[in-house]
Amino acid sequence: MEIQTNEIVRFIKELVHIPSPSGNTEAAIQYMKEFFEENEVPFKITNKGALLATIKGEDDTKHRLLTAHVDTLGGMVKEIKSDGRLKLDKIGGYYWNTVEGEYCTIHTSRGERFSGTVLMHQTSAHVYKGMDDLKRDEKNIEVRVDQEFHSKKDAEEAGVSVGDFVSFNPRFDETESGFVKSRHLDDKASVAILMHLVKQIQKSSIKLPFTTHFLISNNEEIGFGGNSNIPEQTVEYLAVDMGAIGDGQTTDEYTVSICAKDSGGPYHFGFRKHLVELAEKNGIDYKVDIYPFYGSDATAAIRAGADVVHGLIGPGIDASHAYERTHVKSLEHTANLIKSYLQSQLV
């Protein structure tokens, strides 16, 4: 089973162009549904709207579960201003300055879509003095809608209302040097990796040693995407998310990140050692890291009381929760570590 990064990147490109802020992920889940149907993997849609697919293994008494999430950061219309512009409330955890100037789409409850731009109210340099000193916050950030709205009434009559979802455009790009740049690589890069592996397993008729579930969760960015719908036979739970890059971190864009601890505490030590041993045995470049301001679906599952061994790995993502970037080397190493894990014995 040879890893083909070109297919992973193709899946990423398709996924990031499907708007799916937490709470409005039906289109992304539908895409995943069609993928599993095409690859003849049985699945179910949970009451919370996630997707749980299962590949039966040689041992059906003890199960593994891998999860990645299709929900992303986004916004919701908090207020329609008197001039027809929109105030936002955040979906997920990010800083306002990371979306300033970004193109976006307003998804109305009636089904219309309007394009727009996220801007500071005081943007014009020819009008406002000292705008660079103003705080980027919910008071000053607004959406300029690409419609002829002169008033709140104009916007309302067009179908805009409080509670409408706002998605940020991905601006996907792949460079000749192997970098993939886009919003929403968290966590659609990891979903794409799982898709590639599932397709390879089915295509090559590979028999896994243990029944393995693939949970495509849809509420991770708000903290509870993968803490339910865990089959009772599950003994190992691996979240495939991202490795965050910054000062003091070991994670980079060219290796797979193995998380030792996040805001929820340490990950299972034996599981972490198992992943490290697999990486070293198979020549996979990796980094072990700690993320103090991070929480995964595995953390959520443990907090909810799941009796499982839990771990977290993922490709290294620069500028997490902003305009993100990774490299195909990181995608490849992450895919190879998951491939090795799927074919290994239990921790």
186 marked ligand binding residue: yes
Report which of 95, 117, 167, 169 is spatially closest to residue 319, judged by C-alpha positions. Answer: 95
321 marked ligand binding residue: yes
Which stretches of 110-178 are DSSP H helices? 152-157
Q: Which helix (H) or strand (E) holds 148?
A: none
Report helix, strand or coil for 279. Answer: helix
Catalytic choice (220, 236, 253, 332): 220
Q: What is the DSSP string of 78-126?
A: EEE-TTS-EEEEEESS--GGGTTT-EEEEE-TTS-EEEEEEEETT--TT
241 marked ligand binding residue: yes
- Residues with Cβ within 8 Å of 100's Cβ and at least 6 positions away in sequence, in order, are 118, 119, 120, 136, 141
Distance CA 258, CA 175 (A): 26
Whether the upstream peptide bond of residue 187 has omega within 30° of 0, thus cis, is yes
277 marked ligand binding residue: no
Distance CA 195, CA 31 (A): 11
Question: Does 156 participate in catalysis according to the annotation?
Answer: no
Report helix, strand or coil for 337. Answer: helix
Question: Do residues 219 and 225 touch, judged by C-beta distance below 8 A?
Answer: yes
Q: What is the DSSP string of 136-168?
A: -STTTEEEEESS---SHHHHHHTT--TT-EEEE
Known binding site for Zn(2+): residues? 69, 186, 221, 241, 321
Active site residues: 220
Known binding site: residues? 69, 186, 221, 241, 321
